[in-house]
Structure 1
């Protein structure tokens, strides 16, 4: 076994940390939508809750601790507990079309951009041509 001072500090910090842990995410824009991928390994999909209140998108999840009656733990690094993350969405989002899926421990939230916020071309009007009347 090797000495890892940073790993030891992380474990010590986690031992004293209480409350919900932050959900690690990736957020990318793909064409006309944003894609948010959140790592939630070992989480029961039924425990995942996604709320949208105004501009605030909230993700909550619960991972239950494994129970082994009568067993002696040798190592227990996969802790249970609550996960929580909030995002403020801008005005250019199509809130009615937000969707989510969960596969292989990754929650994917698709956030489409509203039609009003999509880039568009603006036509330039040519001046009107007036015919002159000769007498």
Structure 2
């Protein structure tokens, strides 16, 4: 399938004029991520290829999870760039957490360029079955009581 993009050439000219050409330090455009739920927790997978694991920082502050990572530019002044398409600099994504998240038990791992963050639900937010007990019949009406199990 071919796509016609009338702005592609304009973008290329603009990039070269604004210093985003080859061999320059460019800011990352985005950090691709997936977010899904498995049983009693959420999983966030973020693509961070080439990022030093020591540069990855996870913070939770006032219900917001912030993921920050840095990819350094290759060193070596003798390089003659032919193409430079890999972004260097700092990546940052923020995710608003709901009230039902147990922020004390968030864990993360970094493997093969993918950061995986496990975000557990708190006990009170976990789905549960509520049993209904029938009490005495008083005056033709039945009163039901609910208790969590």
For 1:43 and 1:64, locate their aligned partners in 2 and report how far apart those are by CA, in whole Å: 8
Structure 1 gaps of 5+ residues are 131-135
Structure 2 gaps of 5+ residues are 21-25, 139-149
CA deviations over 1:63-117 (Å, ceiling 9, x no partner): 0011233121111111211101001000011111000000000000000011100
Which structure is higher in RCO with an 8 Å CA cutoff and minimum separation 6?
Answer: 1
Aligned 1:8-47 pairs, distance under 5 A: 8=8, 12=12, 15=15, 19=27, 21-47=29-55
State the number of aligned residues: 127
More strand by share: 2
Work out whether residues 107 and 117 of structure 2, in 8 Å CA contact, stay in contact via their aligned partners in 1: yes
Q: Note if 1:96 corresponds to 2:104.
A: yes
Query: In the alignment, what sits opposite 1:87?
Result: 95
For 1:73 and 1:5, locate their aligned partners in 2 and report how far apart those are by CA, in whole Å: 26
When structure 1 is superposed on structure 2, of 60-69 and 83-92 the one drifting more is: 60-69
**1:129 positional shift:** 6.3
**1:47 positional shift:** 0.5
For 1:86 and 1:13, locate their aligned partners in 2 and report how far apart those are by CA, in whole Å: 32
Task: Tell me the TM-score normalised to structure 2 length.
Answer: 0.74
Aligned 1:1-135 pairs, distance under 5 A: 5=5, 8=8, 12=12, 15=15, 19=27, 21-128=29-136
Work out whether residues 47 and 62 of structure 1, in 8 Å CA contact, stay in contact via their aligned partners in 2: yes
Q: CA RMSD in A?
A: 2.8
